Structure 1
């Protein structure tokens, strides 16, 4: 059997990472902590594994690069803003607005990096984001205690995650995925902890189930974001930002299975549209590379 082309192998790893991080909202709900505190435990439990992986890959843990520091700060802001966006606005609004990351990344690459996207790729971005909007539009839930604030936080989440992906994509040209993940997590963990303490959150989980969920978040971070970081050393950042839209599809399916949050016809259509946009984006990126 011939070995798959490296690009497809990277794409498969990227899809795997996006599927793994689809467990994130489920585990956050089970941590029994505050929103930012859940982000802290996610990074804290990931650090020992990332340290071992980094030492095994490079033989030592070198000082952090500016890109790793920037990635850590952006990811801490991403976690805090997204978790609080869900708290203050409806799940529908938080999901739609936080999934604008591909638009931000594509616009940034076009304006600042002079990387003009192909029309087929722009169509893929529009299709994938439209599918994510369809998935969120029919979710049942209260409007939230402060919708304007929650909407603003959720929209800003897309910016922070876009900056994180751009920093990781640039860093992967010179650094290993494990080193970038270690330092971005080491920087992000104290930042979200300070935020949680400042906001008076519940820091420690209330029981064994909460601790188990926190450990699960750490393992998910290593496997999910680690796979995404590895793949971004071999794929364009704009393409990766579209492929990670697999995450809300996985999260929706898990919510259906675990919490009986049934996916209606419109949401199922949205999932199919999102996946179609992801496939089209990958194809457009592959054709350009070829």
Structure 2
């Protein structure tokens, strides 16, 4: 029990480093999500290769059509989540975007009530009202110095919460459909789906092109921060 709590706290702390690492990379928000998922996918592929001793057929044999579909959908939702969250970071700040993203708990509760028919105590609704009020006061004025598109950033932060709640629910369903698959294999498929979704969304905005592998003139230190972002919160935090 104690080790589980330690793993939970450590995982939460590592995941919480995502926003600062994204900011430190000094990379356009559209590219952060793409490279974060792409680098994570490459790292996971290496981990799977080591774990299975090069026998990728073992991983493929454990997959089913429903399992792949759920994992691909989960990856797509996560891609949308990354798309709006990195816009929130650069338009409303790393701290606020993290808080707004955590409004996912509100939406997950609604899913639990509607889909899973869960019962909620009265104290929860009181806590929910206080939490919503806290978010409202934290957001503050619609104009903030240094963030000319602050309202847009707040909106993206709230959408992040919706997307992440959807992702969390979808992830739980995909786990049920892929019980024979190890966490690395499951996460790899999710990252492939997320990277593809992000490439598609950013291509639609005209930000990236089929021939673009990296943004132009990206410093080596930025790549280092992005690799850290992919390995620490993306893989390490989720695994814990």
Given that residues 31 and 205 in structure 1 are in contact (C-alpha distance below 8 angstroms), is that contact kept between their aligned partners in structure 2? Answer: no
Q: 1:109 maps to which residue?
A: 112
CA distance in 2, matches of 1:122, 1:205: 50
What are the ranges of 5 or more consecutive residues in structure 1 without an aligned counterpart? 228-290
In 2, distance between residues paired with 1:54 and 1:174? Answer: 20
Pair 1:163 & 2:170 matched: no
User: Residue 11 of structure 2 contacts residue 238 of structure 2 at CA under 8 Å; is this kept in 1?
Assistant: yes
CA contact (8 A) 1:93 1:136 kept: yes
Aligned to 2:78: 75
Q: Take 1:110 and 1:54, find their aligned partners in 2: how far apart are those partners? A: 37
Once residues 139 and 152 of structure 2 are traced to their aligned partners in structure 1, the CA distance between those partners, rounded to angstroms, is: 18
8 Å CA contact 2:100, 2:135 repeated in 1: no
Equivalent of residue 200 in structure 1, options 178, 198, 207: 207
- Matched residue SS, 2:32: helix
Residues 116, 87 of structure 1: CA spacing in aligned structure 2 closer, same or farther, 3 A cutoff? same
Establish whether residue 144 from structure 1 lines up as the match of residue 141 from structure 2.
Answer: no
**Cα gap change, 1:142/1:134 in structure 2, threshold over 3 Å: closer, same or farther?**
same
Aligned 8 A contact 2:20 2:94 in 1? no
- Once residues 124 and 11 of structure 1 are traced to their aligned partners in structure 2, the CA distance between those partners, rounded to angstroms, is 23
The residue aligned with 1:215 is: 227
2:211 is matched with none
- What is the CA–CA distance in structure 1 between the aligned matches of 2:109 and 2:37, rounded to whole Å? 28
Q: Decide whether aligned partners of structure 1 residues 26 and 68 sit closer, same or farther in structure 2, where only a CA change above 3 A counts.
A: same
Question: How does the TM-score come out when normalised to structure 1?
Answer: 0.64
How far does the alpha carbon of each residue in 1:3-58 deviate from its partner, in whole angstroms, 9 at most, with x for none? x3xxx544432322211011111211122321021111111111133234446379
Please tell me whether the aligned partners of residues 99 and 129 of structure 1 are also in contact (alpha carbons under 8 angstroms). no
1:124 and 1:178 mapped to 2: Cα distance?
Answer: 36
- Whether the aligned pair in 1 keeps the contact of 2:71 and 2:190 (CA below 8 Å) is yes
Aligned 8 A contact 2:37 2:192 in 1: yes
In structure 2, relative to structure 1, the CA distance for the partners of 1:180 and 1:120 (3 Å cut) is farther
Task: Determine the structure 2 residue equivalent to 1:88.
Answer: 91
- Which residue number corresponds to residue 282 of structure 1? none
In the alignment, structure 1 residue 177 sits paired with structure 2 residue 183: yes
Q: Tell me what 1:233 maps to.
A: none
CA deviations over 1:201-224 (Å, ceiling 9, x no partner):
682562121111111011121101
Structure 1 residue 75, shift from structure 2 partner: 0.8
**Following the alignment from structure 2 to structure 1, what is the Cα–Cα distance between the partners of residues 176 and 229?**
27
Question: How many residue pairs end up in the alignment?
Answer: 220
How far is 1:148 from its partner?
3.6
Out of 31, 39, 42, the position equivalent to 1:37 is: 31
CA contact (8 A) 1:47 1:182 kept: yes
Q: Post-superposition shift, 1:71?
A: 1.2
The runs of 5 or more residues in structure 2 that have no matched partner are 209-213
1:169 deviates by 1.7
Matches within 5 A, 1:230-269: none
1:155–1:205 Cα change, 3 Å: farther
Give the superposed CA RMSD: 3.3
